Protein backbone atom coordinates (compact mmCIF):
# COMPACT_ATOMS: atom_id res chain seq x y z
CA UNK A 1 0.00 0.00 0.00
CA UNK A 2 2.77 2.45 0.86
CA UNK A 3 4.35 2.03 -2.57
CA UNK A 4 1.27 3.45 -4.27
CA UNK A 5 0.40 6.00 -1.56
CA UNK A 6 2.08 8.86 -3.45
CA UNK A 7 0.02 8.14 -6.55
CA UNK A 8 -3.11 7.64 -4.48
CA UNK A 9 -2.71 10.95 -2.64
CA UNK A 10 -2.20 12.87 -5.89
CA UNK A 11 -5.34 11.29 -7.33
CA UNK A 12 -7.30 12.13 -4.19
CA UNK A 13 -6.10 15.74 -4.45
CA UNK A 14 -7.12 15.95 -8.12
CA UNK A 15 -10.53 14.38 -7.51
CA UNK A 16 -11.26 16.59 -4.52
CA UNK A 17 -10.37 19.71 -6.50
CA UNK A 18 -12.61 18.48 -9.30
CA UNK A 19 -15.37 17.85 -6.76
CA UNK A 20 -15.01 21.37 -5.39
CA UNK A 21 -15.27 22.82 -8.90
CA UNK A 22 -18.37 20.73 -9.61
CA UNK A 23 -19.93 21.85 -6.33
CA UNK A 24 -19.24 25.50 -7.07
CA UNK A 25 -20.75 25.12 -10.53
CA UNK A 26 -23.82 23.50 -9.02
CA UNK A 27 -24.16 26.39 -6.55
CA UNK A 28 -24.02 28.77 -9.51
CA UNK A 29 -26.71 26.73 -11.29
CA UNK A 30 -28.94 26.76 -8.21
CA UNK A 31 -28.53 30.52 -7.84
CA UNK A 32 -29.30 30.97 -11.53
CA UNK A 33 -32.52 28.98 -11.20
CA UNK A 34 -33.44 30.84 -8.02
CA UNK A 35 -32.76 34.36 -9.28
CA UNK A 36 -33.50 34.28 -13.01
CA UNK A 37 -36.32 31.76 -13.49
CA UNK A 38 -39.74 31.12 -12.03
CA UNK A 39 -39.10 27.38 -11.66
CA UNK A 40 -37.73 27.53 -8.12
CA UNK A 41 -39.59 26.13 -5.14
CA UNK A 42 -39.53 28.23 -1.95
CA UNK A 43 -36.81 27.00 0.40
CA UNK A 44 -35.35 24.66 -2.21
CA UNK A 45 -32.36 26.80 -3.14
CA UNK A 46 -31.26 27.56 0.40
CA UNK A 47 -31.41 23.91 1.44
CA UNK A 48 -29.56 22.75 -1.66
CA UNK A 49 -26.85 25.40 -1.31
CA UNK A 50 -26.38 24.42 2.35
CA UNK A 51 -25.97 20.75 1.36
CA UNK A 52 -23.50 21.66 -1.39
CA UNK A 53 -21.45 23.84 0.96
CA UNK A 54 -21.35 20.93 3.42
CA UNK A 55 -19.92 18.78 0.63
CA UNK A 56 -17.30 21.46 -0.11
CA UNK A 57 -16.40 21.62 3.58
CA UNK A 58 -15.95 17.84 3.67
CA UNK A 59 -13.72 17.95 0.60
CA UNK A 60 -11.64 20.73 2.16
CA UNK A 61 -11.24 18.79 5.40
CA UNK A 62 -10.51 15.30 4.02
CA UNK A 63 -7.93 16.35 1.42
CA UNK A 64 -5.45 18.00 3.84
CA UNK A 65 -5.72 15.02 6.16
CA UNK A 66 -4.74 12.64 3.36
CA UNK A 67 -1.91 14.92 2.25
CA UNK A 68 -0.58 15.25 5.80
CA UNK A 69 -0.69 11.47 6.18
CA UNK A 70 1.29 11.16 2.96
CA UNK A 71 3.90 13.64 4.17
CA UNK A 72 4.22 11.95 7.56
CA UNK A 73 4.62 8.55 5.89
CA UNK A 74 7.83 9.79 4.27
CA UNK A 75 9.44 10.20 7.69
CA UNK A 76 8.67 6.64 8.78
CA UNK A 77 11.63 4.68 7.52
CA UNK A 78 11.61 1.00 8.34
CA UNK A 79 14.81 -0.50 9.61
CA UNK A 80 16.18 -3.36 7.52
CA UNK A 81 15.29 -6.80 8.74
CA UNK A 82 17.67 -9.12 10.55
CA UNK A 83 18.26 -11.11 7.36
CA UNK A 84 19.85 -8.08 5.70
CA UNK A 85 22.29 -7.70 8.57
CA UNK A 86 23.12 -11.40 8.61
CA UNK A 87 23.76 -11.39 4.85
CA UNK A 88 26.01 -8.35 5.22
CA UNK A 89 28.02 -9.95 8.02
CA UNK A 90 28.32 -13.21 6.08
CA UNK A 91 29.59 -11.40 2.99
CA UNK A 92 32.17 -9.50 5.01
CA UNK A 93 33.30 -12.73 6.68
CA UNK A 94 33.74 -14.40 3.29
CA UNK A 95 35.76 -11.44 1.99
CA UNK A 96 37.98 -11.49 5.08
CA UNK A 97 38.56 -15.26 4.78
CA UNK A 98 39.49 -14.90 1.11
CA UNK A 99 41.86 -12.04 1.91
CA UNK A 100 43.55 -14.01 4.69
CA UNK A 101 43.88 -17.09 2.46
CA UNK A 102 45.47 -15.05 -0.31
CA UNK A 103 47.99 -13.48 2.08
CA UNK A 104 49.00 -16.87 3.47
CA UNK A 105 49.81 -18.16 0.01
CA UNK A 106 52.22 -15.30 -0.66
pLDDT score of 90: 73
pLDDT of 5-61, one tens digit each? 778 888 888 999 999 999 999 999 999 998 888 887 888 888 999 999 999 999 888
Q: Whole-model pTM above 0.85?
A: no
Residues 35, 44 contacting (CB under 8 angstroms): no
Long-range contacts of 7-12 (CB under 8 A, 24+ apart): 9/66, 9/67, 9/69, 9/70, 12/62, 12/63, 12/66
Residues 52, 30 contacting (CB under 8 angstroms): yes
- Among candidate residues 11, 46, 9, the one with its CA nearest the CA of residue 27: 46
Long-range contacts of 49-55 (CB under 8 A, 24+ apart): 52/23, 52/26, 52/27, 53/23, 53/27, 55/19, 55/23
Report d(CA 64, CA 9) in Å as an integer: 10
Amino acid sequence: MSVYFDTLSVRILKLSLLGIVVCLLSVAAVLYVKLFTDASIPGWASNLILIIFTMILQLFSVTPIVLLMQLSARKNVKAPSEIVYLDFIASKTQINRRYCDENRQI
